[in-house]
Structures are given as structure tokens and as C-alpha cells.
Amino acid sequence: MESVGGQNRHGHRIGASSGLGFFCLDLAKAGCRIVAAARRVEKLDSLCQQINNNKMEYSMSLTIYGTRLAVAVELDVTADPAAIEASVWKAWDAFGHIDTLINNAGFRGQVRSPLTLSPEEWNQVVKTILTGSWLVAKSVGKRMRAAARNGSIINISSVSGLNRGVFRGGVACDSSKAAIDTMTKIVALEFGDYKIRVNSIAPGLFKSEITENLFNKKLGLKNAMKKLVPLGEFGEGDPALTCLVRYLIDDSSEYVSGNIFRQHLHC
């Protein structure tokens, strides 16, 4: 694959310091320029160095853009809107524009009953997952509209926001993920006026920094979850998720918008 869509894309990925960093690695291999954004810049620097220091593996873009393939940008999605806007501007300026935004900021919080969850915990989860995703998509969408550029926005939600993935103790997180899917469909209608596509991917459980201890604590959960997976086994984030992301940023998906793609995974 020479590059996604036959041309080099510039991708801006939120929440790149943990969880789904393999998106950045895979898209770099596909010829995309990466702007990785998150609060923890030290982890972003490590990810970007991995891409920039392995130029033979991630060499699709070199002849066009020189030697810098990935850039780290500090971004706290719980910050005030002005700070988020400034971070998005910095990401945009890194390579001159953004073709694709992957919204992946996540925060599960403590597993609590709705009767014991505090308003502060609720607000922290909702602000990170839902409000932060909206503010970043809004800012990137404004830049795309002003530049008259087509684009693709991919929101990462969860099967926990769908009927088949509801669990006890996750009222704030699961409600936010369900809201992400609804936001995706509405924003797709609005952004479609400017040829900006918006879709959502709803993965199941997979190994990440947020979920790494979950299966150790609940030994029966793995077998229980397998019963919900149509194929009866868990896939892995790469390629199960990465191939879908490649499709959603490729020109072949130019008429695909406002959809929720469910993926049951575990690494």
C-alpha cells in the first residue's frame, strides 16, 4: 500500500499516549504523517521517536516531506476551550493541515454503583470522553471548513455504549460512550455540508492501559465476553481496528459517514 488513498495524509490522533498507540504506528507505515496528542508528552515523545527513528519501516512519506514523520503535541481534553483550540492550531501547523482526526481520549474512572458515584467522578469521566471529543472535533472541523478541505473524523466509542455491552459499575463511562455515538451521527449531518465525514468505531474489550488488570481481577469475564462475540474468539487491535481506520480515511469510503462500526476485540 503506497499510502492511504493514494496520497499522503496528515492524521491528528487524540489520546495517543496509551491504549491505541498502534493506530499511529500503522498509519505511519501506510504513508501518513502523524500528529500525536495527549496530556503525557513524555509518552508521546517515545511514540514519535519510534516512528522517526525507524525511517526505513515508515519511509512512504520521506520523499515528499523530508525526515520528520511524527510530531507530539500536548493536549488536555479537559482543559478550557481556548487551550484546546490552541493545541489544535499547533497540530494543524505541524504539517500545514489535518486530513484525519481520531478522537480516542478515554477515562473509565472507578467501578461504582450509580448510588455511590460522586458528581465529581461523573463530571471527570464525561468531560474527558464526551465534552473533550466534541471540543476537539469542533476545532478541527472549523479548520477543515476554513481551508475548504475534505476530511475524516473517527470517534472511538465502545460496545459498552451499545445494548450488547452494558455492564454494572460503568454508568458514567458507558453513558459517555453511548453519547459519543449519538454525537457522531448528528455531527456527521452537520459536517457533511463541508464534505467532512464523521464515523464511530465501538471496540469491545482489548488489552490497554485502562483495561490491563480487568481480566486478572475477574477471571470469568473472558469466557463470558466470548459468548457475546459472533465469531467466538477475540481478535487483536492490529489489524482488526487498524484496517477499519485505514478504510475510513481512504478515498474509497468517501460516501461513508454517520455510521457506528462495532468491533469485538481482545489482545
Domain residues for 247?
Answer: 7-260
At residue 53, the pLDDT reads 82
Residue 266 included in any domain = no
Helices (H), 53-170: 62-65, 81-95, 119-126, 132-147
Q: What stretch of H or E contains 239?
A: helix 237-240
pLDDT tens track for 78-98: 999 999 999 999 999 999 999
Residue 149 included in any domain = yes
Find the Cα–Cα–Cα–Cα dihedral 54, 13, 156, 244, rounded to 10°.
-50
Q: What stretch of H or E contains 36?
A: strand 33-38
Q: What is the CATH number of the domain that holds 124?
A: 3.40.50.720
SS3 at position 254: coil
Residue 2 included in any domain = no
Residue 241 included in any domain = yes
Asked if residue 113 lies in contact with residue 169, where contact means CB atoms within 8 angstroms, the answer is yes
Residue 136 included in any domain = yes
- Grouped pLDDT means (10 residues each) for the chain, 267 residues: 45 58 86 89 86 66 60 93 96 94 82 91 94 97 96 91 73 92 97 97 70 57 65 68 92 95 63
Number of domains in the chain: 1
Write out the three cell numbers for 243. Answer: 484496517
128-143 in b/e burial notation, b at 16+ Cβ within 10 A? Answer: bbbbbbbbbbebbbeb
Residue 56 included in any domain = yes
- What's the predicted TM-score (pTM) here? 0.84
Residue 146 included in any domain = yes
Write out the three cell numbers for 81. Answer: 476551550
Residue 265 included in any domain = no
